[in-house]
Every structure is written in structure tokens, then in C-alpha cells.
Amino acid sequence: MTARASPADHQLATSDNRIEASSAAPGTGASAVPPMEVAIRTSGLTRRFGDLVAVDRLDLRVRAGSIYGLLGPNGAGKSTTIKILITLLPPSEGTAEVAGLDVVREARAVRHHIGYVSQLLSADGGLTGYENLMLSACLYGIPRRERRARIDEALATMELSDAAHRVVSTYSGGMVRRLEIAQATIHHPAVLILDEPTIGLDPIARRAVWEQMRQARRAGKTTILLTTHDMEEADALCDEVGLITHGRLAAHGTPAALKQTIGPTASLDDVFTRYGDPRDEGGSYRDIRGTRRTAERLG
Ligand SMILES: Nc1ncnc2c1ncn2[C@@H]1O[C@H](COP(=O)(O)OP(=O)(O)OP(=O)(O)O)[C@@H](O)[C@H]1O
Ligand SMILES: [Mg+2]
């Protein structure tokens, strides 16, 4: 079994493959990234539920135009962080900025600049794909005369044009997730946030969703923040990852740099095992329940 990392281990740095850690003083890691280039920034972000500290003084920096993976065991605080970033939950302490806007003081403006795909399913199974997209286009305030073109574009990008007029309850899991990404990107958001976008999908559907995320980034210079328990996915898709345990950032950097800290043949699974907290018991009933429901409905 691999020895656990000491805080000093976390401060390894190379010029090409950065690895930084929560133990670094505010500014040491962040100052390497010019302020204009940061799409998501949290400083001392904390969220409590009663006595439970779900997010604990989290300092995150996500580069504009990158794909960032938030990793961590069940109950680590990933979804709670995301809910703060999308303005659904206020922080208890600390600050968060998305696209340069404060999530508390400028919450309305933040909502215009983000797209969000929930950990739970959000597409309406009783409506067609087209109708779901129309709903999103209206909610995001896309002018009436532009809606049709935007919907057609979103359907084509997500390879759903042929299924546009079928009710979503007849879609496969991969099609539902692609539709939800289409809904979340129809207004061309600066930042796209996805909570476990490929959970329960078969390998082919999962790769199709990866490709759509890469396309969303290429097409609109969108910054993408996603959570996943799939280390292969994080490795294949993410420019940088942050590993959260007990609401704190245990390590972050490029997948390559994180793997290098362990050994030449290390996988991201090994990184997860090393930096994850052995006291974790796999999350509470509440944590597992939502994840399992989504997986069952998509699978
Ligand atoms: N509304 C809430 N009320 C009370 N506790 C909550 C609430 N939401 C989350 N929690 C708790 O906060 C902690 C962090 O939960 P969160 O959902 O952010 O974890 P997660 O990293 O997304 O886990 P998973 O990988 O299982 O999705 C957990 O202990 C969870 O039970
Ligand atoms: Mg979660």
C-alpha cells in the first residue's frame, strides 16, 4: 500500500505540470494564473449544515477555457461546492466568483453566464427533446426570433436532431445526458458546470458525452467544471483536477503531474487512493441515494 502524502509532498511543482495544494498560502498557487484567465475562483469558501462542515475553506482556481475535474469520495463536498457556484446555496463564509462575478452580490448576473447539468436528472421525460430545449431557451431569455435556430444548432451539436420530436422517456441514458448538456449550453454560457455527467452510462455513450463536452469548449470557449468518480474520465477529459476530502482541497494539478508524484506507472485511481482520506467510509445514506437513483434511471 502506498504511503500517504505529507503536506510537503503537495507542494511539488514543475514548470509544465503544476501540482498545488490547499496547504499553499492564498496567492502562491493562484498568483501563477493571471486574474483575467480565471473563470472560477473561490477563497476560503465554507458551507455548514448545522454542525457539519460540508465545504471547508476551499480555495479553487479554474482557468478560463479549461476543463476542470472536481474529484473526491462520496460526501466530500463536491455537489455542495457546485450549488454555491450556481447560486442555489449561499456560502456560510468565504467568497466565490464565476466569470468574474460574485455568486452572492451578483447572483442574477452569474445565472446568465452559467449552464448547469445536475447530478439528478433534470430533463422532463414527458416532453420531447425539442420542447425541453424550447423551455430552456425561454428560461434563459433567448429572444423569440432566435430560439428555433439555437435549438436546431444545439440538437445538431449533440447529435439529437433525428430524435428531436420523440418524448424524452423513450431516449437512452446517453441521449438524455446529451440533451441536458444541450439545454445547459443553449445560451452559450461562459461556464458550464456538470455534476457527474456520465454516471450510469455505457462506455460508448460516455465517450459521446466527452466528445460533446470537448466540442462545447472548442465551439464557445466555454470553461467546464465537472465532478466525476470515474478516474479514467478525469484523466481523459480534464486539463486539471482538484481532489476534495472533507470539504478541503487535498491536492490539485494536471492529471499527469498528480500521477508523477506517485510513480511512473501510477494511474489517477492511485492518486485518489493516496490523497483521499482513509477515514472516509464511502459517504452517508443520503450521499449514495441520489447517485444511485440517477445511475438506475440512466442505465
Ligand atoms: N441540504 C443538506 N443538509 C444537510 N447535509 C447536507 C445537505 N447537502 C449535503 N449535505 C451533507 O454535506 C456533505 C457533502 O455533501 P455533497 O453532496 O456536497 O457531497 P459530494 O461530494 O457531492 O458526494 P457524492 O460523491 O456522493 O455526490 C455530506 O456529508 C452530505 O450528507
Ligand atoms: Mg455529489
Across-strand partners of 248?
245
Taking the C-alpha atoms of residue 142 and residue 153, their distance in angstroms, rounded to an integer, is: 14
Residues within 5 Å of ion ligand 2, judged at the Cβ atom: 78-79, 119
41: left (phi over 0), alpha (psi -120 to 50) or beta: beta
Domains held by the chain: number: 1
Structure-block grid coordinates of residue 44: 476560503
pLDDT value, residue 261: 92
- Is 174 part of any domain? no
Helix (H, G, I), strand (E, B) or coil at 62: strand
Alpha-carbon span 215 to 159, nearest angstrom? 12
99: left (phi over 0), alpha (psi -120 to 50) or beta: left
Supply the DSSP symbol for 6.
Answer: P
For ligand 1, pick from 46, 47, 51, 52 the residue to mutate: most ligand atoms within 8 Å of CB: 52
Q: For each of the chain's 299 residues, which pLDDT tens digit applies? A: 333 433 333 333 333 334 443 333 333 334 444 444 899 999 999 999 999 999 999 999 999 999 999 999 999 999 999 999 999 999 999 999 999 999 999 999 999 999 999 888 889 999 999 999 999 999 999 999 999 999 999 999 888 999 999 999 999 988 999 999 999 989 989 999 999 988 878 888 888 889 888 887 886 679 999 999 999 999 999 999 999 999 999 999 999 999 999 999 999 999 999 988 655 544 555 555 555 566 665 55
Cβ proximity of 277 and 250 under 8 Å? yes
Evaluate: CB of 286 within 6 angstroms of ligand 1: yes
Residue bearing the CA closest to ligand 1, atom 11? 54
Flag whether 130 is in a domain. Answer: no
C-alpha cell at 257: 503531474
Look at residue 56 and tell me if it is in a domain. yes
* Residue 74 burial class via C-beta count within 10 angstroms: exposed 0-12, middle 13-18, buried 19 and up: middle
CATH code, domain with 219: 3.40.50.300
Let me know if residue 245 belongs to a domain.
yes
Residue 47 in any domain: the answer is yes
Determine whether 138 is exposed, middle or buried from the number of CB atoms within 10 Å of its CB (0-12, 13-18, 19+).
exposed
244 CA distance to ligand 1 middle (Å) = 12
Reported in sequence order, the residue ranges of 228-283 that DSSP labels E, i.e. its strands, are 240-245, 248-253
Q: Is residue 171 part of a domain?
A: no
Residue whose entry in the numeric block shows the C-alpha cell 418524448: 167
In-domain check, residue 140: no
Q: Does 287 sit in the ligand 1 pocket, CB within 6 Å?
A: yes
The conformation of residue 86, written as its DSSP 8-state character, comes to T
CB count in 10 Å sphere of residue 153:
16
Residue 297: the pLDDT is: 59
What is the phi-psi region of residue 127: left when phi exceeds 0, alpha when psi lies from -120 to 50, beta otherwise?
A: beta
Helix (H, G, I), strand (E, B) or coil at 261: coil
* Cα–Cα distance, 30 to 93 (Å, whole number): 19
The structure's pTM equals 0.82
151 belongs to a structural domain: no
| Per-residue pLDDT, 6 | 37
Parent domain of 82: 9-120+188-298
CA separation, residue 38 to residues 51, 54, 220 (Å) = 32, 24, 16
- Torsion, Cα of 183, 187, 191, 194 (10° steps): 0
